Chains A and B, each alone.
Chain A
């Protein structure tokens, strides 16, 4: 391995089952990777995300645990604004891998993972809803928790925690209209 990970007591577990990651590293040399508290993380550029995830799916990562997003707007030293986080797991070997992919503002877009893992469906809808990340190839990219009429993406760092006014944007539906 080319990386010098941080020393941590749980590191050995990451060394043991690393097969899926090794397969990815062989196919995509030069990926930025690190280990923290025994967790293997790898950064994949958005351009090769689809291909890399397909390889990981074939390498045995059959469970997509989570798709989430981090807005690095106020994060010290961050170069990209959004970081997508894919948590993968292999249910046979219990290997875990965190795939991160950075995208930037005008049109943050990544390929959808629904064709590989159907579980990505709602998770990606949530990331679209709360962060405004577009997932190309998603079959049904609607808002998940916020109402359809909502215009903002509330988990972005430039959306305030408190404030008034948002409710006035909602249409009032009378009993006759409903």
Chain B
């Protein structure tokens, strides 16, 4: 409705009116259904010829009230909803959600669980970066690159399928543990992936990193300065491509990241090309983390002990020990469950897209009183008009792709 401006072309024919006002500007509606937005979001663009004068992002087409649902589902149930937020890397959302819940409850995870969560979070990072960079390639004309990337994503899907039975919506974590333990077969598959992926990554770099067309289309496009990145709330690879060195894995080490040797790739240019390079390098660092983690998974249980009354005990314990039976009973009863403090806390992880955190308010129930999700995509999408001003229409897909906007995470 708001986009219907009156006959822009006929007015531009008249030079007298054109010079005085902005009426000669062409208004273009980009989306909500557009192959290059990949998801359902809309841009209202003001164009002068092919140059973008201003852009007004619109969101909300996928708003499904995830935060409202979070006030009605228990901490264990809600993990299925987090799968659907950033569906490109659902594992990272699972880990983020239960990381926040466990912070509110004050649960100390077992070392094995910590390592497995680190492994799945890094696999999720690789798969997210593959899709993001692949989509940038796809939108700028490098279709082969996209297929190379997606082939590797399939392998990660296979790993997740072997791990927890689901390829896409994993719902893998539980309060105080995981839905399943890692098996030797999964470790085998991850090892195989670690062996083949560097080769493909090198192939992908050879395909695109020095490709003249790609470099021309991304270098110097959508530049975000370091000061702007922080002031406008950018986090993750987008901030790091602008010279911000913040990475929660290093700055506020959570899970097992303290145990591993890895670097945080940064760039200073802040353009689409820098964001692409940072993501490519982050995948390499994730491989380093994975290769260290997968060979050093500690033995022991994945769930916290029965005495904590948090994680549901396995069947063997339920049927053969009295503590297991009591714990199972207590956790299954709708009026029992575990104790939640009447407190508020925020915990975030370094998700592939940036800082993904949950602000939880507990009121004694197993359901959050308020489950606020801090999605990186919202702040990144808000950057978009700032980045695109002055560029051409064809640069939109490059900028949009490099911001990795996932509409489901954007709208929640």
Contacts and interface: CB of A to CB of B under 8 A. Distances in A.
Contacts of A68: 359, 372, 374
Interface residues of A, number: 41
A125 to B, nearest CB: 9
Interface stretch (A22-30, A44-52, A58-66, A101-109): A58-66
A141 interface: no
Interface string B345-357: 1101000000101
B382 A37 contact: no
Contacts of A66: 346, 357, 359, 372, 374
A36 B69 contact: no
Nearest to A39: B345
Given A37-B345, A178-B1, A161 B378 contact: no
Interface stretch (B10-18, B166-174, B225-233, B328-336): B225-233
Contacts of B355: 65
B67 interface: yes
B98 interface: no
A144 B379 contact: no
Nearest to A70: B370
B106 A8 contact: yes
Interface string B83-109: 000000000000000000001101010
Given A36-B345, A63-B230, A122 B68 contact: no
Interface in A145-173: 145-147, 154-155, 161, 173
Interface in B364-383: 364, 369-370, 372, 374, 378-379, 381-382
A73 to B, nearest CB: 10
A8 B369 CA distance: 22
Contact of A161 (B1, B63, B72): B72
Nearest to B228: A118
Interface of A: 8-9, 36-37, 39, 41, 62-66, 68, 70-71, 74-77, 85, 87, 91, 94, 98, 117-119, 121-123, 126, 130, 143-147, 154-155, 161, 173, 178
Give 4 nearest A-B pairs by CB, closest first.
A119-B233, A145-B60, A145-B63, A66-B374
